[in-house]
């Protein structure tokens, strides 16, 4: 990949891969749950080792850049939006998120010559390869956040121009077999934070605080009462308020801007309806009115409250007041609240949210026996998933 490549190494992946290989070889887990359980247990080790090593270097081209175009798809959209938020929050540089289809019609005239393209893609899908190819054509430099190692990159994309590409690699480079991924999403967020620390020369994350959050939320035991109530409701789901929805996930900024991966956990892990994301204050501007129109079945609202943020608690209280004071027997609206314990800082709260939903989704996945090996629609998505652009679309 050239000397300019950025490699973020963590614990020896060969050891982890061997453990997974042994388990895959001898396990009779036809649904993939044992494999996911193993990966969930690995997350704290990977994250803390990443934080300990912090072995990244950034080329002068990245240091001096003042404008970034950032992109990602699927669960990687959340990482791309998160990095965009961090760039705009902690620096005076300009960062803009753009979706993948914009690159199929855009030309060099759309972007400025001094902009850097940042692409987030854990496994470099065909769609992501299209964007990478475009970036090499129209940008002076591309920064790729990925879980693929150098050998995999060269094998999948032999046309890569090493003089135009830098990479930040995070675990796990072979997180396949199951539809949902859990190690890559968590490590991808931390990779963004560590990149920002290097770029800004600021200490954005403290080891002890992150360790406390990771260890407190990584257990698969569902002992927290608020989460247990939501778990039970999602498991029962007799009226399909979650599985077929819509149900509503209410958060405050900036979490709402970067929590797309939570939606994908529910989609890919449970095959549930994607929750409608809504800001607390935005909820009263149309969403509540639409919710009140649903009278033939129960509806569900899941509120996220950061206990370190007094405004979150106040807005959740007002939302409950608005719902409960106007409830009647003809309409049942169930409200569930999940509490975050970290500081209001987006550096910690997003990782805590990620870990809490890992635990929640995994518990439901096991009870409902969601097949993560042979998932619904497996192999049927190639017309779109396999799209890597055409000569006409990239001219």
Q: What is the pLDDT of residue 342?
A: 75
Q: What is the pLDDT of residue 229?
A: 86
In this prediction, residues 12-26 reach a mean pLDDT of: 39
Q: Give the least confident one: 17-31, 177-191, 351-365.
A: 17-31
Q: What is the pLDDT of residue 28?
A: 65
* Cα separation, 389 vs 133, whole angstroms: 9
For residue 386, pLDDT over 50 is answered with yes
For residue 32, pLDDT over 80 is answered with yes
For residue 46, pLDDT over 60 is answered with yes
Tokens of 370: 């969601």
Q: Write the pLDDT tens digit of every residue in 83-134.
A: 999 999 999 999 999 999 988 876 656 777 789 999 999 999 999 999 999 9
Q: What are phi and psi of 2, to 5 degrees?
A: 95, 160
Going by pLDDT thresholds of 50, 70 and 90, the confidence category of residue 245 is confident
Q: Pick the more confident residue, 217 or 330.
A: 217
Q: Give the least confident one: 46-60, 78-92, 206-220, 264-278.
A: 206-220
Q: Write the pLDDT tens digit of every residue in 185-238.
A: 999 999 999 999 999 999 999 889 888 888 877 665 544 455 778 989 999 998
Q: Pick the more confident residue, 193 or 12.
A: 193
* Cα separation, 131 vs 103, whole angstroms: 6
- Bridge partners of 132, per DSSP, are none
What's the CATH number for 219-368? 3.40.50.10490
Q: Pick the more confident residue, 16 or 116.
A: 116
Q: Write the pLDDT tens digit of every residue in 159-168.
A: 998 889 999 9
Domain boundary assignment for the chain: 13-207, 219-368
What's domain 13-207's superfamily in CATH?
Answer: Glucose-6-phosphate isomerase like protein; domain 1 (3.40.50.10490)
Q: What is the pLDDT of residue 109?
A: 63
**Mean pLDDT score of the chain:** 86
Same fold, 13-207 and 219-368: yes
The alpha carbon dihedral of 377, 379, 380, 383 has a sign of positive
In this prediction, residues 125-154 reach a mean pLDDT of: 93
Q: Helices (DSSP H) in 259-374: which residue ranges?
A: 260-264, 270, 287-292, 310-324, 346-368
* Cα separation, 56 vs 266, whole angstroms: 33
């Amino acid at each position: 990949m050239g000397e300019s490549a950025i490699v973020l190494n963590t614990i020896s992946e060969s050891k982890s891969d061997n453990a997974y290989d042994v388990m895959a070889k001898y396990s009779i887990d036809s649904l993939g749950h044992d494999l996911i359980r193993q990966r969930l247990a690995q997350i704290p080790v990977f994250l803390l080792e990443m934080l300990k090593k912090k072995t990244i270097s950034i080329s002068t081209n990245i240091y001096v850049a003042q404008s970034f175009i950032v992109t990602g798809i699927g669960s990687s959209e959340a990482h791309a939006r998160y990095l965009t938020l961090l760039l705009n929050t902690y620096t005076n540089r300009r960062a803009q998120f753009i979706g993948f289809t914009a690159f199929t019609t855009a030309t060099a005239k759309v972007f400025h010559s001094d902009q850097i393209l940042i692409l987030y893609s854990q496994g470099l899908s065909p769609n992501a390869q299209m964007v990478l190819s475009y970036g090499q054509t129209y940008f002076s430099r591309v920064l790729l956040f990925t879980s693929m190692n150098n050998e995999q990159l060269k094998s999948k994309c032999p046309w890569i121009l090493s003089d135009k590409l830098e990479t930040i690699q995070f675990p796990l480079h072979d997180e396949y077999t199951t539809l949902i991924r859990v190690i890559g999403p968590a490590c991808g967020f931390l990779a963004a934070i560590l990149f920002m620390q290097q770029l800004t020369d600021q200490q954005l994350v403290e080891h002890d605080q992150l360790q406390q959050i990771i260890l407190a939320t990584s257990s698969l035991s569902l002992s927290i009462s608020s989460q247990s109530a939501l778990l039970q409701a999602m498991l029962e789901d007799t009226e399909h308020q979650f599985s077929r929805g819509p149900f509503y996930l209410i958060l405050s900024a900036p979490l709402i801007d970067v929590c797309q991966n939570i939606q994908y956990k529910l989609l890919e892990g449970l095959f549930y309806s994607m929750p409608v994301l809504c800001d607390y204050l935005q909820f009263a501007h149309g969403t509540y009115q639409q919710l009140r129109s649903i009278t033939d079945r129960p509806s569900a609202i899941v509120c996220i409250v950061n206990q370190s943020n007094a405004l979150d608690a106040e807005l959740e209280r007002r939302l409950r007041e608005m719902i409960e004071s106007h409830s009647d027997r003809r309409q049942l609206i169930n409200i569930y609240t999940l509490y975050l314990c970290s500081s209001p800082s987006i550096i910690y709260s997003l990782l805590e949210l990620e870990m809490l939903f890992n635990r929640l989704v995994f518990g439901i996945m096991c009870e409902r026996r969601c097949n993560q090996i042979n998932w619904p629609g497996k192999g049927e998505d190639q017309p779109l998933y396999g799209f890597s652009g055409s000569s006409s679309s990239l001219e």
